[in-house]
């Protein structure tokens, strides 16, 4: 049955926003179409019976309707089996099964091409199924295997009677083998569940913030893809995976089909930054429920989100790893969504670097902060998304070129970041003695970096033991600021070498007061001030020094720090950071960020009851209680990638890159 015949004869009514496709070639049609059937429900909404289940008075409205995602077309291609049997007692990171395909690059590297087809030709998109509501079954009590898995060896002392109760419950829980949630965790779970947004009668995400005292929610009442990731992990670790599955499928249907910015369509495959559930009144007291995505046309600076698609792929892998359910990844619409995102990221352009070229405001730092170019955060997420895709893509004739391109880019990107972004005391001393204006192929100073760029603060700040990956690299420019998210994801994804990953945590430990302070963790260090602040931020009154993106402290970074510490077997650092957050977050009503150099004060414009602050804390606690499950979320070093040199593709007489010399250093 063809898609059009099915829709014409179907008794169900599709959402108009889903059917109004700007890129109808995705379905195999050559022209746009708009189906006359609205997604309509005969609801007489004279009461608040259909408001979502928020703990606080939210301005978010949702009404039951129907949604028709694609049915999975069963692919007989064998997928690799995931094993949850991990041995954390071995030295180094836990070993991970390697995805083996017959399109490996190492054997015939000269015959491969890094180009990717701009259009995915999957023909089996003519079957649909009705997505029913989910049955969320929350539970509080969890079994644990060992007493050591219970975080609470050092219980923070608070001056209230509840603390005595919490300690007593914790001790009883250890004796009985039952994990007992503290009052703070119970409060956090209540707030997280209160932030859940429903669509079609099913949960599809969480709002960014749910502050009952906020009279102007702006876009904080929307579901952001990047913001939902810690919420999704909290639900997955709790055993409640259906909300994550719904989120992945619904955001997939919003993938760059309709929205425009000044009459220019977003690139095919672009994922929205956020979406909102809107109820549209119709005639006769009827209502239509729609998902309204934002691709950046409503954001500050009108910048399209580069990281949304990367986060979506990473979360898709996490869902499969934790639940063990590979069927979602094997669906034809999900496979196509992965390919569209990768085709957008891997498209050929003018850039000569393997890193992604992006503008300011295209990631978590969504305002002007001088990160345009090749920011580390995007490169680390890009690397993680590529590795995730390599695990999830079905290897067949239609995907072999894409898998080749992924392998090529992974190899080139890892070499590029490890070789040129890394700084420690030794590297800074080398830059300090750089020669400039080198035009030869054998130039040491390949990007013509002038030694005068090394900032004075770095000379005294960099420790003898430790190092980090700089924030950005462009011709004649190195951004020496420490960007926490990019460095943490470099550890989690193994973008950095094992030695580099260890050195990053050594630096965090050595500079604990600067990067962690009173509230984990600084989004970047140091803040830009004075004239530099005016030039770099455009005199942004929200990004004043040591506030918001300009050196503010963000509790949501806690779960990523915890995951990095678990991978590198530095649990004591994570436990110390979680204990700091636990003392203040609940008392301060779960702020979005903290201000000042040491993170002492709640941010001057910080939203309270920020969902990803709540979810980040819960996720960190559960990871520390069960490091074995948390280990499913990170990647080990893939030594096979080091054997693939993209320079080998060149048929010209130019010399290859110094991969051999570099490998002898990065494998230490």
pLDDT digits (tens, 9 = 90+) for 241-270: 999 999 999 999 998 755 556 666 777 899
Q: What is the pLDDT of residues 575-600, one digit of tens each?
A: 999 999 999 999 999 999 999 999 99
State how far the alpha carbon of 133 is from the alpha carbons of 16, 75, 198, 201, 599, in Å: 20, 25, 10, 6, 42
* pLDDT score of 262: 65
- Which is more confident, 450 or 44? 450
* pLDDT score of 122: 41
Ramachandran region, residue 132 (left: φ > 0; alpha: ψ -120 to 50; beta: rest)? beta
Residues 312, 259 contacting (CB under 8 angstroms): no
- Which is more confident, 668 or 492? 492
For the segment 556-573, the average pLDDT, to the nearest whole number, is 98
Is 598 buried (19+), middle (13-18) or exposed (0-12) by CB count in 10 A? Answer: middle
| Percent of the chain's residues with pLDDT above 70 | 68
Confidence of residue 659 (pLDDT cuts 50, 70, 90): low
* pLDDT score of 441: 84
Q: What is the pLDDT of residues 269-282, one digit of tens each?
A: 999 999 999 999 88
Residues 267, 362 contacting (CB under 8 angstroms): no
Q: How far, in Å, CA of 52 to CA of 48, rounded?
A: 9
pLDDT at residue 237 is higher than 90: yes
For the segment 167-176, the average pLDDT, to the nearest whole number, is 46
Q: What is the pLDDT of residues 183-204, one digit of tens each?
A: 999 999 999 999 999 998 999 9
Tokens of 119: 């259009």
DSSP states of 136-198 as a string?
------EE-S-GGGSS-SSPPP-SSHHHHHHHHHHHHHHHHTEE---HHHHHHHHHHHHTEEE
Q: What is the pLDDT of residues 148-162, one digit of tens each?
A: 443 344 434 343 444
| Percent of the chain's residues with pLDDT above 90 | 60
Q: What is the pLDDT of residues 97-111, one digit of tens each?
A: 333 333 333 333 333
- Tokens 């499928």 label which residue? 249
* pLDDT score of 227: 98
Q: What is the pLDDT of residues 350-397, one digit of tens each?
A: 988 999 999 999 999 999 999 999 999 999 999 999 999 999 999 999
Most confident of 55-59, 345-349, 427-431: 427-431
CA 568 to chain centre: 20
Q: How far, in Å, CA of 538 to CA of 605, rounded?
A: 18
* pLDDT score of 33: 31
pLDDT at residue 234 is higher than 90: yes
* pLDDT score of 649: 44
pLDDT at residue 32 is higher than 90: no
- Tokens 């179907």 label which residue? 10
Q: What is the pLDDT of residues 617-641, one digit of tens each?
A: 999 999 999 999 999 999 999 988 8
* pLDDT score of 74: 35
**Model pTM?**
0.75
Cα distance between the two ends of the chain: 58
Q: How far, in Å, CA of 333 to CA of 276, rounded?
A: 22
Confidence of residue 416 (pLDDT cuts 50, 70, 90): very high
* pLDDT score of 142: 37
CA 515 to chain centre: 21
- Which is more confident, 170 or 397? 397
What three-state secondary structure class fits 479? strand
Confidence of residue 646 (pLDDT cuts 50, 70, 90): low
* pLDDT score of 41: 38
* pLDDT score of 660: 52
* pLDDT score of 645: 61
List all residues 6 or more positions away from 215 whose beta carbon is below 8 Å from its beta carbon: none
* pLDDT score of 257: 54
Residues 411, 644 contacting (CB under 8 angstroms): yes
**Burial track 63-76 (b if 16+ CB lie within 10 A, e otherwise):** bebbbbbbbbbeee
List all residues 6 or more positions away from 42 whose beta carbon is below 8 Å from its beta carbon: 284, 286
- Which is more confident, 290 or 639? 290
Q: How far, in Å, CA of 512 to CA of 517, rounded?
A: 6
pLDDT at residue 239 is higher than 50: yes
For the segment 545-564, the average pLDDT, to the nearest whole number, is 98
pLDDT at residue 452 is higher than 50: yes
**Burial track 99-112 (b if 16+ CB lie within 10 A, e otherwise):** eebebbbeeebeeb
* pLDDT score of 536: 96
Mean predicted lDDT score pLDDT of the chain: 78
Q: How far, in Å, CA of 42 to CA of 37, rounded?
A: 14
What three-state secondary structure class fits 571? helix
* pLDDT score of 181: 87
Confidence of residue 48 (pLDDT cuts 50, 70, 90): very low
- Of 398, 389, 391, the closest CA to residue 346 belongs to 389
Helical ranges in 439-569 per DSSP H: 456-461, 484-492, 498-510, 512-515, 530-537, 558-567
List all residues 6 or more positions away from 559 whose beta carbon is below 8 Å from its beta carbon: 230, 233, 615, 616, 617, 619, 620, 623
Domains of the chain by start residue, with CATH:
182-664 (1.50.10.10)
Confidence of residue 67 (pLDDT cuts 50, 70, 90): very low
């Amino acid at each position: 049955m063809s898609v059009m015949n099915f829709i014409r004869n179907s008794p169900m009514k599709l959402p108009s926003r889903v059917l109004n496709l700007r890129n109808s070639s995705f379905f195999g049609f050559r022209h746009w179409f708009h189906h006359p059937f609205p997604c309509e429900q005969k609801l007489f909404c004279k009461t608040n019976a259909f408001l979502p289940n928020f703990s606080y008075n939210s301005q978010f409205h949702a009404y039951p309707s129907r949604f028709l995602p694609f049915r999975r077309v069963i692919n007989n291609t064998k997928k690799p089996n995931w094993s949850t049997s991990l041995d954390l007692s071995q030295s180094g990171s836990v070993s991970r099964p390697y995805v083996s395909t017959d399109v490996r690059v190492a054997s015939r590297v000269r015959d491969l091409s890094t180009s990717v087809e701009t259009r995915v030709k999957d023909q089996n998109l003519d079957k649909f199924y009705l997505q029913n509501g989910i049955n969320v079954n929350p539970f509080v009590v969890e079994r644990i295997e060992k007493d050591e898995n219970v975080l609470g060896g050092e219980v923070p002392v608070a001056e209230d009677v509840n603390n005595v109760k919490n300690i007593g419950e914790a001790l009883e829980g250890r004796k009985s083998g039952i994990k007992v949630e503290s009052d703070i965790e119970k409060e956090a779970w209540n707030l997280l569940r209160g932030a859940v947004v429903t669509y079609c009668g099913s949960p599809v995400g969480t709002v960014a913030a749910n502050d009952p005292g906020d009279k102007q929610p702006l876009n904080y009442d929307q579901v952001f893809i990047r913001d939902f990731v810690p919420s999704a992990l909290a639900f997955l670790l709790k055993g409640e995976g259906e909300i994550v599955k719904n989120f992945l499928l619904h955001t997939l249907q919003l993938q760059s089909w309709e929205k425009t910015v000044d009459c220019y369509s977003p690139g095919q495959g672009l994922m929205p930054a956020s979406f909102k559930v809107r109820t549209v009144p119709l005639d006769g007291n009827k209502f239509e429920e729609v998902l309204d995505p934002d691709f950046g046309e409503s954001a500050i600076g009108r910048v399209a989100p580069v990281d949304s698609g990367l986060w979506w792929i990473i979360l898709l892998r996490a869902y499969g790893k934790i639940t063990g359910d590979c069927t979602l990844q094997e669906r034809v619409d999900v496979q196509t969504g992965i390919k569209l995102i990768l085709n957008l990221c891997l498209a050929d352009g003018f850039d000569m670097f393997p890193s992604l070229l992006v503008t300011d405001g295209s990631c978590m730092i969504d305002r002007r902060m001088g990160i345009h170019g090749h920011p580390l955060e995007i490169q680390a997420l890009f690397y993680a998304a590529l590795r995730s895709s390599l695990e999830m893509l079905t290897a067949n004739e239609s995907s072999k070129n894409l898998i080749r391109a992924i392998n090529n880019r992974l190899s080139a990107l890892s070499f590029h970041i490890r070789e040129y972004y890394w700084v420690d005391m030794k590297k800074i001393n080398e830059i300090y003695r750089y020669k400039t204006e080198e035009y030869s192929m054998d130039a040491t100073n390949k990007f013509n970096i002038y030694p005068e760029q090394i900032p004075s603060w770095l000379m005294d700040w960099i420790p003898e033991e430790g190092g980090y990956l700089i924030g950005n690299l462009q011709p004649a420019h190195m951004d020496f600021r420490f960007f926490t998210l990019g460095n943490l994801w470099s550890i989690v994804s193994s973008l950095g070498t094992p030695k580099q990953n260890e050195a990053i945590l050594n630096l965090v430990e050595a500079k604990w007061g600067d990067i962690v302070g009173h509230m984990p963790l600084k989004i970047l260090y140091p803040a830009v001030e004075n004239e530099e602040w005016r030039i770099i931020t455009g005199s942004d009154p929200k990004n004043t020094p040591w506030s918001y993106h300009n050196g503010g402290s963000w509790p949501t970074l806690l779960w990523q720090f915890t995951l990095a510490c678990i991978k590198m077997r530095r649990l004591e650092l994570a436990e110390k950071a979680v204990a700091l957050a636990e003392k203040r977050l609940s008392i301060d009503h779960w702020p979005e960020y903290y201000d000042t150099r040491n993170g002492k004060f709640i941010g001057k414009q910080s939203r309270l009851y920020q969902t990803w602050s709540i979810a980040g804390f819960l996720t960190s606690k559960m990871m520390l209680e069960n490091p074995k499950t948390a280990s499913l979320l990170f990647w080990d070093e893939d030594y096979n990638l080091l054997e693939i040199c993209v320079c080998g593709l060149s048929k010209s007489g130019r010399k290859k890159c110094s991969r051999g010399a570099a490998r002898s250093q990065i494998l230490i």
